[in-house]
Amino acid sequence: MTKNTLNDKEMQEWIETEWGYEKLPMGGSVPYPGSSKFFKTGDWSPFKAVVDREKCTKCTTCFFLCPDSAIKMDEEEIPVMDFDYCKGCGICAEECPSDAIEMKDLTK
Amino acid sequence: MTKAKVTKGKRIGMTGDEAVANAAAVINPDVVAAYPITPQTIIVEHFSDFVHDGEVDTEFVCVESEHSAMSACVGASATGARVFTASASQGVALMFEILFIASASRLPIVMSVANRALSGPINIHGELTDQTVCRDTGWISLFSESAQEAYDNTFLAFKIGEHPDVSLPVMFGLDGFILTHALEGVFPLDRKFSKDFLPEREMVHPTIPGNPVSSGLLALPNYYMEVKYQQELAMDAARKVIPKAFEEFGEKTGRYYKSVEGYQMEDAETALVTMGALSGTTKFVVDKLRKEGEKVGMIKVKTYRPFPADDLAKALKDVDAVGVIDRDLTFGAPGAALYTDLKTSLYDYKDRPQVFGYIAGIGGRDVLVKDYEYIYKQVLKNKGAEKAVPVEWIGLRK
């Protein structure tokens, strides 16, 4: 079986096409991997996770618990939030054993 | 040890449930996920015996509820597997949510429904309401008149559902106890037939490792309508695929079926219309009335969804009056399920009979020959009525 993949440009085009019922894949499925990369959810939340680099012990708890894989560890092994995808759920702040993450209210 | 009957030929005594279990054993599906419920239990019980004894290669998924059973079926079917399940009444009701997901995701799961009255009050006996309420789930829906037909429907359901133009789940009913538990002579089929009649399922986008596919997705107002319209087109396609499947099955087995089957209809002036096991007794009553000189025939509706509207209009065009016998309920509607659909289907035709509705056999109450004769007399009495005649409950105590 052939593996179906699209590069970023093709995927962007595929997503932006307003498919009609004739060409929409059966049942509305997406036959290519990686489409959620183009579905940015960062503007869903009024909260932003802010890391206190002094308090952080580099334990990686937040990295593993982030449900959106929106946390990367930088070269100093300190978490960096990807605000294109962070929904502001606050799990990282709640679970951080050193209280190094604060959910800052962006509306204030 | 229960030996699966997988050889073709001589008639074997089987209950309806045994017939379905044996048909499933011949088909040898990839996955069966089911939860036992009266009067379907024997299907699952026998099939799990077949799995234990190595008579089938099926992966049998023991689940904790029907909701999980149908969910497991959806997951398995999304990989391209051939999937079978069975349920009844409360079990189907518990699956309800997932039934819509199966059809919208276009997964040709096959489910046999041992038709049983819904609670409450709690009741375990035969009634078709558990399946007629599924009319809006997007499943193809067939009924059986006999254990033989239930056996054959197991094959037909896969044939229809897995057709690439259709790709929809299919449920077929067999009346609780009347068919599920009564012993009947059934002509079995074999694996050679099954292999030939049911070639391997081909799925366009299966979810398998190494080839990621996202299915069962979110579709907001900008896509929901398109996905739902695809389902409507699949039902239209099924209208074409179903008669072809019946034809091919007939050529290979000698047993021919029709979505709308006429009996003694040639010169009939009055017709009784039924679904499921009631049809067998109706045929007997029609023969009896014919001997008494009455010009009466009957129509058996085998395919309930997609509803064979045009076939029915054609079959009933020369008839003056029709009595529809529903073994199902829907409250506050113009009438029961088959009656309302039939009446709607005929509305646009100039040559259409008067249609009167009767509700019988609810909660497994016996429908006797005298009840059918009474219905026939009522149809004759109501013929020519200029006002709407209310639907009548048969055998009801005041």
Place of tokens 């599920």: B180
B149 burial type by CB count under 10 A (0-12 exposed, 13-18 middle, 19+ buried): buried
Helix (H, G, I), strand (E, B) or coil at A41: coil
| Residue B187 φ then ψ, to 5° | -80, 115
Whole-Å CA distances, B228 to B138, B231, B235, B335: 9, 5, 11, 27
Nearest to B106 among A27, A30, A32 (CB): A27
Q: For residues B28 and B293, what is the distance between their CA atoms, to the nearest angstrom?
A: 49
Q: Does B233 touch chain A (CB under 8 A)?
A: yes
Q: What is the pLDDT of residue A108?
A: 76
The highest-level CATH class for domain A42-105 is alpha beta
Q: Tell me where in chain B the CATH 3.40.50.970 domain(s) lie.
A: 12-253
Q: For residues B321 and B373, what is the distance between their CA atoms, to the nearest angstrom?
A: 15
Which chain B residues contact residue A4 at CB under 8 A? 211
ipTM of the complex: 0.85
Radius of gyration of chain B (CA): 21
At the topology level of CATH, where does B12-253 sit? Rossmann fold (3.40.50)
- Confidence band of B244 (pLDDT split at 50, 70, 90): very high
pLDDT for residue A34 is more than 90: no
Helix (H, G, I), strand (E, B) or coil at B378: helix
Q: For residues B158 and B171, what is the distance between their CA atoms, to the nearest angstrom?
A: 10
- Cβ distance B205 to A24 less than 8 Å, yes or no, reads no
The residue among A54, A45, A37 whose CA lies nearest residue A99 is A54
State the distance between the two ends of chain B, measured CA to CA, in whole angstroms: 50
Which chain B residues contact residue A28 at CB under 8 A? 104, 217, 219, 223, 226-227, 230
Instruction: Give how far B330 is from chain A: nearest CA, Å.
Output: 30
At the topology level of CATH, where does B260-393 sit? Rossmann fold (3.40.50)
Query: Over B96-146, what HEC string results?
Result: HHHHHHHHHCCCCCEEEEEECCCCCCCCCCCCCHHHHHHHHCCCEEEECCC
| Residue B171 φ then ψ, to 5° | -115, 145
Per-residue pLDDT tens digits for B78-94 = 999 999 999 999 999 99
Q: Which of A27-36, B120-129, B334-343 has the weakest average pLDDT?
A: A27-36
Phi-psi region of A60 (alpha: psi -120 to 50; beta: other; left: phi over 0): left
Strand pairing of B303-305 and B354-359? unpaired
Domain extents in chain A: 8-38, 42-105
Tell me the residue ranges of DSSP E strands in chain B.
12-15, 31-34, 59-62, 83-87, 110-115, 140-143, 170-175, 183-186, 260-263, 270-274, 296-301, 303-305, 321-326, 354-359, 392-393
Per-residue pLDDT tens digits for B304-313 = 999 999 999 9
Q: Which of B8-17, B96-105, B257-266 has the weakest average pLDDT?
A: B8-17
Q: What is the pLDDT of residue A33?
A: 86
Helix (H) / strand (E) element for A71: namely: strand A71-73
Query: Within a 13 Å sphere around the CA of B197, how many CA atoms are in the beta-carbon half?
Result: 28
pLDDT for residue B30 is more than 70: yes
Strand partners, B298: B263, B272
Which chain B residues contact residue A19 at CB under 8 A? 223, 226
Helix (H, G, I), strand (E, B) or coil at B49: helix
Q: For residues A2 and B158, what is the distance between their CA atoms, to the nearest angstrom?
A: 27
